[in-house]
Amino acid sequence: AYNFNPGPAALPLEVLQQAQEEFVDFQGIGMSIMEISHRSKQYEQVNDEAQSLVKELLGVPAGYQVLFLQGGASTQFAMIPMNFLPQGKAAGYVLTGSWADKAYTEAKGIGETYVAATGEAGGFRSIPAVSDIEARPGSAYVHLTSNETIAGSQFAAYPDTGSVPLIGDFSSDIMCRPVDVSKFSLLYAGAQKNLGPSGVTLVIVSDELLGQASKGVPTMLRYDTHSKTKSLYNTPPVYSVYIMNLVLKWIKGKGGLEGMEQFNRDKTKLIYDAIDGSGGFYQGLVDANSRSLMNITFALGSEELEKKFIQESEKEGFVGLKGHRDVGHMRASTYNAVPYESCKALADFMNEFRQRNG
Ligand code: PLP
């Protein structure tokens, strides 16, 4: 299948094959990794290796903790304000679409918030300019969504918020390209797009921000519970972390994040070129300077034509091209594990479909 699913998303075939080989006998122990203690040396080694690979690949500076949590990115929407939005302070949210809005709505129920910038007037076709993002002095933090999975938009550069901590939701573009972690005090990502299966959420948090966490938060929802225990406070999602570790090794083998960025640029160019070269037959839903490397959204001239496009593409083996129900139209999710060949096949199909229907 040409898998363009938005998430859970494609995994590298090599990773699935290795997992299959080790499924009933992990490293000669005669059992699956799911059947052993998370306190065993075998699992601790997987956990440690995954943490070091995250640090190495993202170039995480000293003074940051790498955590593997549960509850998905959606739990982070609540954990962040519970821990870092004390009474008497406000947190700024950059509104770029559905996911930013979900994070903002959750925080509004917990503390004081303000809109640091919004792309709503333009129908979220573009990411607000970095210079338009307001980090009010004394704010608890500013939150942004690096990649809007549903709209198909992505920050090209991140704002400098000075002494105000910057927090980023990287759920749908983590490790698709290098990122300067030192600009952020906390970044997080559900694993199920670029890192592995659902069940584990990556959090990278600075010691400085950790030191400011509110007291009185329930144990499991406090970041320091997990930072003090190498993310082994309670039973972790063992299998998800194990697969994530294999995915991280795969990324390293592809040339790290520089390699991933080049690969993602090359393969998405094929599809963006098919849109831009179609004389308006395909219309991109996002302005060129805010286009995503991970989710490519586009429309065709009519609902009928879009239905036909989906039907015919499915017959050709394309999966997951229907846009999100909130936006409609088409969306091709081109996460790290989506091969160049799949994008080439889609671009060819788009060109050929346009010739037949244009
Ligand atoms: N943030 C973004 C940008 C997402 O794309 C998603 C899921 O698609 C989420 C948050 C929610 O993630 P989870 O399902 O892990 O809670």
Among the candidates 253, 268, 294, a domain finishes at 253
Residue 156 maps to which CATH number? 3.40.640.10
> Domain residues for 318?
255-357
Same structural domain, 23 and 89: yes
The answer to whether the complex's ipTM is over 0.85 is yes
Residue 51 domain-assigned (yes or no): yes
**pLDDT score, position 22:** 97
Among the candidates 253, 287, 308, a domain finishes at 253
Note if the pTM is more than 0.95.
yes
**Nearest-atom index, ligand 1, CA of 149:** 5
Rounded Cα distance, 291 and 274, in Å? 14
**Tally of structural domains, the chain:** 2
Longest dimension (CA), the chain: 63
Same structural domain, 31 and 17: yes
Q: Tokens in use for 205?
A: 């948090």
Ligand 1: distance of its center to the CA of 16 in Å? 23
**pLDDT score, position 48:** 98
Ligand 1: distance of its center to the CA of 171 in Å? 6
Choice from 68, 69, 74, 153 to test ligand 1 binding pocket (greatest atom count within 8 A of CB): 74
In this structure, the number of other CB atoms found within 10 A of the CB of residue 133 comes to: 20
Q: Ligand 1 pocket, 194 CB below 6 A?
A: no
Q: Is 201 annotated as a binding residue?
A: no
**pLDDT score, position 175:** 98
pLDDT < 70 stretches in the chain: none
**pLDDT score, position 154:** 98
Contact 173, 261 (CB under 8 A): no
Q: Is 354 annotated as a binding residue?
A: no
**Nearest-atom index, ligand 1, CA of 7:** 8
Same structural domain, 249 and 268: no
What is the DSSP track for 248-300?
Answer: HHHHHHTTHHHHHHHHHHHHHHHHHHHHHTTTTSSEESS-GGGB-SSEEEEE-
Among the candidates 219, 234, 253, a domain finishes at 253
Residue 152 domain-assigned (yes or no): yes
Torsion of CA 206, 257, 124, 270, to 10 degrees: 180
Q: Is 235 annotated as a binding residue?
A: yes
Residue 164 domain-assigned (yes or no): yes
Same structural domain, 143 and 209: yes
**pLDDT score, position 332:** 98
**Atom 6 of ligand 1 has which residue's CA nearest to it?**
171
Residue 269 maps to which CATH number? 3.90.1150.10
**Nearest-atom index, ligand 1, CA of 146:** 3
**pLDDT score, position 43:** 97
Residue 153 domain-assigned (yes or no): yes
Q: Is 192 annotated as a binding residue?
A: yes
**pLDDT score, position 300:** 97
Same structural domain, 269 and 188: no
